[in-house]
Amino acid sequence: MINLKNTLFEKKLKVTPQRLKVLEAVYNISHPTAEDVIKYIRKRYFDIATGTVYKILETFVEKGLIKKITTDKDIIRYDGILKPHHHLYSLEGNLIKDYIDEELDKILQEYFKHKKISDFEITEISLQIKGKFNK
């Protein structure tokens, strides 16, 4: 259980009710959209302007408190899990699940220690695994 106030404070961000709840939302929802975050806050706490949520999410990404994840939709999704990890994408619906696999990470790390990509400096590697969830 992380202290949200302190998380903001450490990044020199003003501690506002809106920021606290947006952070809580992204930590509690799996790969939420901005809309998901807005619903989460409005249902539980208070009304909040959509522009405020978009602004806060962007700020958090810049400060490294959250990440964006990639999708093939015209919609942005966020991730509260900072540790590099992989994602399982449903080919049918919109479901995205985390996939954590340290053995795989070691294999990849080892592979790219030797194999260099010309003119490119790797920061982060993640797998996109597309397929079907068997309910």
Partner DNA sequence: TTCTTAAAAGAGAATAATTCTCATTTAAGA
Partner DNA sequence: TCTTAAATGAGAATTATTCTCTTTTAAGAA
Give the residues lining the site for DNA (CB under 7 A). 8-9, 13-19, 33-35, 46-52, 54-56, 58-59, 74-76
Q: What span, in angstroms and rounded, lies between the C-alpha atoms of 57 and 5?
A: 16
Among the residue ranges 1-9, 10-18, 38-46, 98-106, the one whose residues contact its own copies (CB under 8 A): 98-106
What is the pattern of x (binds its own copies, CB under 8 A) and - over residues 73-92? xxxx-----------xx-x-
Q: DSSP class of residue 65?
A: S
Token pair recorded at residue 86 = 């992989």
Q: Is residue 124 near its own copies by the rule CB under 8 A?
A: yes
CA angle 123, 126, 129 (to 5 degrees): 165
Q: Is residue 9 near its own copies by the rule CB under 8 A?
A: no
Which partner in Zn ion, DNA, its own copies, none is near 4 (CB below 5 to 8 A by kind)? none
Q: What span, in angstroms and rounded, lies between the C-alpha atoms of 28 and 37?
A: 10
